[in-house]
Amino acid sequence: MTGHVVVETNVNLTIEPSVRVKFDGTYYLWIKGILKAVGTPTDRIIFTSNRENPSAGDWTGIFFSDSSIDAVFDENGNWINGSIIKYTIIEYGGGGSGPTTIGGGSGGILLYAACPFIDNNIFRYNGGSSAALFFNGYGSGSPVLSNNTIVSNGLAMNVQQGSPI
């Protein structure tokens, strides 16, 4: 990615297993619609730096705004629709600043009153003072986080006042 990318309202971005999304600077991926990034245990999707020698803060992060489509689950708790990030690696984020309309900030994933399903991911090497997961604002529900590994980040989580966590 050589610039900021915005997934607009009513747009669905699907990223397939084994894809590497490389950020060539402090750019962000801003979700206003739906992001479906679902890898497998052996073919993870990787969000990373495009630098030859990457370091924390090379890119900004993945941002979910309050207009993004929240995860929907069936009566047994199984995800059936909405935004999901599963079996990914999110590394070397946390630089620059995200969209000011959703609180700026940076980190691996920033949620602004958004409730995606975040499951079985690895967060590593994200920004010095930034967090692997950054929560800002309260929406109509709570994001669902499960089975994630958070290692070697500036902070594991940053929860702002008014957040559902």
Q: What is the pLDDT along the chain (165 residues), one digit of tens a residue?
A: 999 999 999 999 999 999 999 999 999 999 999 999 999 999 999 999 999 999 999 999 999 999 999 999 999 999 999 999 999 999 999 888 888 766 667 889 888 889 999 999 999 999 856 678 877 765 667 788 999 999 988 877 766 655 454
Angle at 90 between CA 10 and CA 66, to 5 degrees: 30
pLDDT at 139: 62
Whole-number Cα distances in Å, 29 to 58, 100, 109? 14, 14, 10
Q: Supply the pLDDT for residue 119.
A: 97
Q: pLDDT at position 127, please?
A: 83
**What are the tokens at 3?**
């610039």
AA identity, residue 11? V
DSSP one-letter code for 102: G
The pTM score is 0.92
48-81: string of b/e by CB count within 10 Å (b at 16+)?
bbbeeebebbbbbbbbbbbebbbbeeeeeeebee
Burial bucket for residue 155 (CB in 10 Å: 0-12, 13-18, 19+): middle
Nearest to 36 by CA among 10, 8, 14: 14
